[in-house]
């Protein structure tokens, strides 16, 4: 089989993914990044009562029609009302209530005079400005009215949405459960951070990068681990994991080397191969399969290749599982501050930093085994398939990560 273009690979994966239907009720304070499982209707007006938008005097506009600096109108101040307190009496002809921001507007008053337009009087007050009816007046339901649909199902919650839900009075929210994911790194050369590094070994960085990225994307990493380049050991790990997750991600062992055993692992397990190889760099040898109904995305072990393909392949799968479009890969145009020669004809992904419509490629190697030059990067430049590289000053497509 000739290798696929990225879009075909993504489609082959997505056609095997169903959105998660199970929901759970969680504390609102834990809701950021979660996806709302039902429409939200307002149970009350917000604010529930007409309130003062400023510090001043609640009056009848009728009484102060003629007020000016030269000819002030004097009113009797009957009481003072602060935010959180309700005034006892009504505002009758010739009277005013001293009022603070957020306090309910007393009955009878139809406007608020700013305190700066008065003499700040306590027993009586001189009004220097005429104010029209319902000026400086914040209506009940200014924010939203009872019965309004405030949010639709499938919305990914951020702090603002959490604030709105809190204003409705609930401390809980019903969301879809998180996608469950397992991560396995493979390779005889790998040592977990925290242990002694023996000769010929390197630390396992993919495990840490993948687990934390998946968590940041809203997944629950229910199992993670490492196996050697051993078909049986790796197959056993996958056997123990399958059924517990929506998706399994592995890194390493997908090329054509003697030790690249993920192909045998899939065969040994009786899993189905969906595809092997995509016409992109980095990450060309990616292998995808399905085992007992669970998608298996086997990424290259090269740390940059693994990171890029986690964005390009795993992220769309998470987006579909979550049923929310917000995780979808988005391309934005940017002017490149650097050129980039291209060695092969396949489409190429280059680590870079995007800011204000411009994109900069960091110094250092862009090789798929090099991760350190990706430090601080926030995007990938997509160079389409073909012989041409990138010219300085060219407008390119950028995927924010």
- Contact at 8 Å (CB) between 357 and 334? yes
Based on the shown chain and the rule CB under 5 A, indicate whether residue 303 belongs to the binding site for Mg ion.
no
Beta strands of 214-311 (E only): which ranges?
A: 220-227, 247-251, 272-276, 280-281, 287-291, 294-299
- Contact at 8 Å (CB) between 125 and 65? no
Based on the shown chain and the rule CB under 6 A, indicate whether residue 401 belongs to the binding site for ligand AMP.
no
Based on the shown chain and the rule CB under 6 A, indicate whether residue 319 belongs to the binding site for ligand AMP.
no
Q: Give me the numbers of helices (H) and strands (E) for the chain, helices first please.
A: 7, 23
Residue 185 contact among ligand AMP, Mg ion, none, beta carbon within 5 to 8 Å by kind: ligand AMP
Intra-chain end-to-end CA distance of the chain, in Å: 31
Beta strands of 228-281 (E only): which ranges?
A: 247-251, 272-276, 280-281
**Site track for ligand AMP across 184-203, x = CB under 6 A:** -x-x-xx-----------x-
Nearest to 261 by CA among 274, 269, 252, 270: 252
Based on the shown chain and the rule CB under 6 A, indicate whether residue 369 belongs to the binding site for ligand AMP.
yes
User: What is the size of the binding site for ligand AMP (CB under 6 A)?
Assistant: 21
Phi and psi angles of residue 213, each rounded to the nearest 5 degrees, phi first: -65, -45
User: What is the size of the binding site for Mg ion (CB under 5 A)?
Assistant: 4
Based on the shown chain and the rule CB under 5 A, indicate whether residue 252 belongs to the binding site for Mg ion.
yes
Q: How far is the CB of 367 from ligand AMP (least distance, A)?
A: 10
Q: Using CB positions, name the residue nearest to ligand AMP.
A: 301
**Is the link from the previous residue into 400 a cis peptide, with omega within 30 of 0?**
no
- Contact at 8 Å (CB) between 246 and 218? no
Based on the shown chain and the rule CB under 6 A, indicate whether residue 282 belongs to the binding site for ligand AMP.
no
Q: Which is nearer to ligand AMP, 231 or 302 (CB)?
A: 302
Based on the shown chain and the rule CB under 6 A, indicate whether residue 300 belongs to the binding site for ligand AMP.
yes
Based on the shown chain and the rule CB under 6 A, indicate whether residue 264 belongs to the binding site for ligand AMP.
no
Residues forming the site for Mg ion (CB under 5 A): 187, 252-253, 301
Residues forming the site for ligand AMP (CB under 6 A): 185, 187, 189-190, 202, 204-207, 251-255, 257, 260, 300-303, 369
């Amino acid at each position: 089989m000739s290798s696929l273009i990225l879009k075909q690979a993504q489609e082959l994966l997505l056609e095997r993914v169903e959105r998660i239907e199970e929901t759970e009720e969680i504390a609102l304070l834990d809701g950021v990044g979660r996806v709302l499982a039902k429409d939200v209707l307002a149970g009350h007006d917000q604010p529930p009562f007409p309130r003062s938008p400023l510090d001043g005097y609640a009056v009848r506009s009728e009484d102060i029609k003629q007020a000016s600096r030269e000819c002030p109108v004097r009113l009797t101040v009957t009481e003072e009302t602060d935010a959180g307190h309700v005034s006892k009496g009504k505002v009758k002809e010739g009277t005013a209530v001293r009022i603070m921001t957020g306090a309910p507007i007393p009955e009878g008053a139809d406007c608020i005079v700013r305190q700066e337009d008065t003499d700040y009087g306590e027993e009586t007050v001189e009004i220097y400005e005429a104010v029209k009816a319902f000026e400086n007046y914040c209506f009940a339901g200014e924010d939203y009215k009872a019965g309004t649909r405030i949010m639709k199902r499938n919305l990914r919650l951020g702090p603002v949405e959490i604030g709105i839900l809190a204003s409705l009075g609930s401390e809980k929210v019903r969301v879809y459960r998180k996608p469950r994911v397992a991560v396995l790194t493979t390779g005889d050369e790998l040592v977990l951070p925290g242990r002694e590094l023996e000769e010929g070994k390197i630390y396992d960085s993919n495990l840490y990068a993948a687990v934390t990225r998946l968590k940041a994307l809203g997944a629950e990493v229910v199992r993670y681990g490492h196996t050697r380049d051993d078909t049986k050991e790796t197959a056993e790990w996958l056997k123990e994991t399958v059924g517990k997750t929506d998706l399994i991600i592995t890194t390493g062992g997908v090329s054509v080397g003697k030790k690249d055993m993920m192909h045998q692992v899939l065969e040994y397990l009786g899993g189905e191969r969906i595809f092997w190889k995509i016409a992109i760099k980095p990450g060309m040898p990616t292998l995808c399969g399905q085992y007992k109904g669970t998608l298996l995305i086997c990424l290259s072990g090269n740390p940059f290749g693994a990171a890029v393909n986690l964005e390009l392949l795993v992220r769309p799968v998470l987006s579909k599982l979550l049923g929310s479009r917000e995780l979808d890969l988005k391309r934005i145009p940017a002017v490149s501050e650097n050129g980039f020669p291209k060695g092969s004809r396949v489409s190429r992904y280059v680590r870079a930093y995007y800011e204000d419509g411009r994109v900069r490629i960091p110094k250092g190697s862009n090789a798929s085994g090099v991760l350190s030059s990706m430090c601080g990067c926030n995007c990938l430049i997509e160079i389409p398939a073909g012989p041409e590289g990138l010219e300085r000053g060219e407008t390119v497509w950028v995927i924010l990560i």
